[in-house]
Amino acid sequence: MVEGEIWHGGDLATAQALFPDAPAPWVDLSTGINPMPYPLPSLPAALWQRLPGATEEAALLAAARAAYRVPESAGIVAAPGTQILIDLLPRLAGAGPVAVLGPTYAEHAQAWAKAGAEVRPVTDPDQAGEARSIVLVNPNNPDGRIVSRQGLVTAAAQCAVRGGLLVIDEAFADFTPEVSILPELPPATLVLRSFGKSYGLAGLRLGFAIGEAPLIQALRAAMGPWAVAGPALHVGALALADSTWLAQAGAARAADAARLDALLAPHGRIVGGTALFRLLETGDAPALFAHLGRHGLYLRRFQNDARWLRFGLPGQASEWARLEAALAGFATSGPG
Please report the pLDDT score of residue 216 as a whole number: 98
- Taking the C-alpha atoms of residue 98 and residue 136, their distance in angstroms, rounded to an integer, is 11
Sign of CA dihedral 158, 61, 105, 144: positive
Q: Which of 211, 194, 184 is nearest to 137 (CA)?
A: 194
Going by C-alpha positions, the residue among 126, 129, 154 that lies closest to residue 118 is: 129
- Quick: pLDDT tens for 160-192: 999 999 999 999 999 999 999 999 999 999 999
Say which residues have a Cβ less than 8 Å from residue 243's Cβ, sequence separation at least 6. 67
Q: For residue 194, give the nearest of 213, 214, 180, 215 by alpha carbon.
A: 180
143 vs 5: which has the higher pLDDT: 143
- Report the pLDDT value the prediction gives residue 1, as an integer from 0 to 100: 46
Nearest Cα neighbor of 141 from 198, 185, 84, 209 is: 198
DSSP annotation of 300 reads B
Cα distance between residue 259 and residue 262, in whole Å: 5
Reported as a single tens digit per residue, the pLDDT across 207-245 is 999 999 999 999 999 999 999 999 999 999 999 999 999
Residue 10: the pLDDT is 83
Please enumerate in sequence order all residues whose Cβ is within 8 A of that of 314, keeping only pairs 6 or more positions apart, or say none.
27, 29, 35, 256, 260, 320, 322, 323
Q: Is the pLDDT of residue 336 over 80?
A: no
Sign of the alpha-carbon torsion through 125, 177, 274, 232: negative
pLDDT over 60 (residue 130): yes
Which amino acid is located at 167 in the chain?
Answer: V
Cβ 165 vs Cβ 189: under 8 Å: yes
Cα 301 off chain centre by: 16
pLDDT at position 7: 74
CB-neighbour burial class of residue 314 (10 A; exposed 0-12, middle 13-18, buried 19+)? buried
What integer best gives the mean pLDDT of the chain? 95
pLDDT grade for 335, boundaries at 50, 70 and 90: low
Read off the pLDDT of each residue in 130-158 and give the average, rounded to a whole number.
97
**E runs forming strands in the chain:** 27-28, 75-79, 98-101, 119-122, 133-137, 166-169, 189-194, 207-211, 269-274, 277-281, 297-298, 308-312
9-23 pLDDT, tens digit each: 888 999 999 999 999
- Mind listing the pLDDT tens digit for each residue in 306-333? 999 999 999 999 999 999 999 999 988 7
Enter the pTM of the model.
0.95
* pLDDT for the residue 79: 98
Q: CB-based contacts of 228: which residues, under 8 Å, 6+ apart?
A: 52, 57, 60, 78, 79, 80, 206, 236
- What's the half-sphere exposure (Cβ side, CA atoms, 13 Å) at 273? 27
Confidence category of residue 8, pLDDT binned at 50, 70, 90 = confident
